[in-house]
Chain A
Amino acid sequence: MTRFSIDIWGEMCPIPLIKAKKKLSSMQCGDILVLETEHSCTSRGIVVWAKANRYIIEEKEVANGIWHLELTKTHD
């Protein structure tokens, strides 16, 4: 259960998703990836993508226009 995070501030789709995918492939099962973005579509896109891939995802709008995402890698 290690927590990783990648810097995706100011990046637009699809860069954050590609970065997350890359990071995820180097993580163990059960590890958590923390992401923070100020781009509404990026947040939405990652949530939809994670659900389609059956990962556990938690989305929280921590301030107006800032989203905090926690993605748990449940399978390889």
Chain B
Amino acid sequence: MSINSAFHSQRKWNIGFILFLTLLLLLLSQISIRLTLITALGISLGFVLQKSRFCLVSALRDPILIGMTQLTRAFLLLLGISILGFALVSWGASQSNIPLSLNIFPMGVHTVVGGLLFGIGMVLAGGCSTGIIIRIGEGFAMQMLAFFGLAVGSVLGERSLKSWRYTFGEWPGIFLPDIFGWVPTLILELIVLLTLWQLARWWQKKQLGE
């Protein structure tokens, strides 16, 4: 098959988009440097997310549904890199005396119920929150419906959080480095991830009968 004309027409669009984004960033930089940096970061994150075709739903669903764990292991790798990166940022912040505000939330029954609801929803919708937004951008119409559901669900969850906490109570959130210190926490977390990695490999071998 010869190279399709659809690709040729796309090249013009790509140049157009790059020009548009450059001009937009230039315009923003006249208003506020901070805004420009946030926008540039957002665009790059979106670009990487779309190109990687990373799918959290697939990582959590496929081991059970079809016995594949490639994405699950990629997800574990992502967690490992994030943990190390987070430790580096925290260390750098403490070295230069920048206060960090951590999002440590209390857990409770609502954590489990919310997790279950989100899990069922994301398998039915075929995407987690970023996954849905990426696929809307790719032009997959079904995900717009899912996005509507995501928005409604978020609002309902946010509004009812207080009554959940009031009815079932909650436990304070745990930040492991505060209890064990940074180095033992890092070692512990990486060992857990490595164990899960091995488990995932074993599971795929068993399921596909290699």
Q: Which of chain B's residues has its CB closest to A39's CB?
A: B140
Q: Is B80 an interface residue (CB 8 A)?
A: no
The one of A38, A53, A62 in contact with B4, judged by C-beta atoms closer than 8 angstroms, is A62
A72 to B97, CA, bound (A): 60
Residues of A within 8 A of B187 (CB): none
Q: Is B138 an interface residue (CB 8 A)?
A: yes
The one of B57, B70, B127, B142 in contact with A10, judged by C-beta atoms closer than 8 angstroms, is B142
B126 touches A53 (CB 8 A): no
- Identify which of residues 17-73 in chain A touch chain B, using a CB-to-CB cut-off of 8 Å: 17-18, 21, 38-41, 44-45, 48-49, 52-53, 60, 62-65
Q: Which of chain B's residues has its CB closest to A48's CB?
A: B70
A52 to B1, CA, bound (A): 27
The one of A14, A21, A48, A65 in contact with B139, judged by C-beta atoms closer than 8 angstroms, is A65
A17 to B57, CA, bound (A): 14
In this complex, how many residues of chain B approach chain A with their Cβ under 8 Å: the count is 26
B168 vs chain A, min Cβ distance (A): 33
Q: Which of chain B's residues has its CB closest to A42's CB?
A: B126
Q: Max chain B CB contacts within 10 Å: which of A17, A52, A60, A65?
A: A52
A39 to B210, CA, bound (A): 29
Q: Is A12 an interface residue (CB 8 A)?
A: yes
Q: Is B200 an interface residue (CB 8 A)?
A: no
B residues apposed to A, CB below 8 Å: 1, 4, 6-7, 10, 53, 55, 57-58, 61-62, 65-66, 68, 70, 126-127, 131, 135, 138-142, 204, 208
A residues apposed to B, CB below 8 Å: 10, 12-14, 17-18, 21, 38-41, 44-45, 48-49, 52-53, 60, 62-65
Known: A14-B58, A14-B65, A62-B4. 10 other contacts (CB 8 A): A12-B142, A17-B66, A18-B65, A44-B53, A45-B55, A48-B68, A48-B70, A52-B204, A60-B1, A63-B4
13 contacts between A and B (CB under 8 A): A10-B142, A12-B142, A13-B58, A13-B126, A38-B139, A40-B138, A41-B55, A48-B68, A52-B68, A52-B70, A52-B204, A52-B208, A63-B4
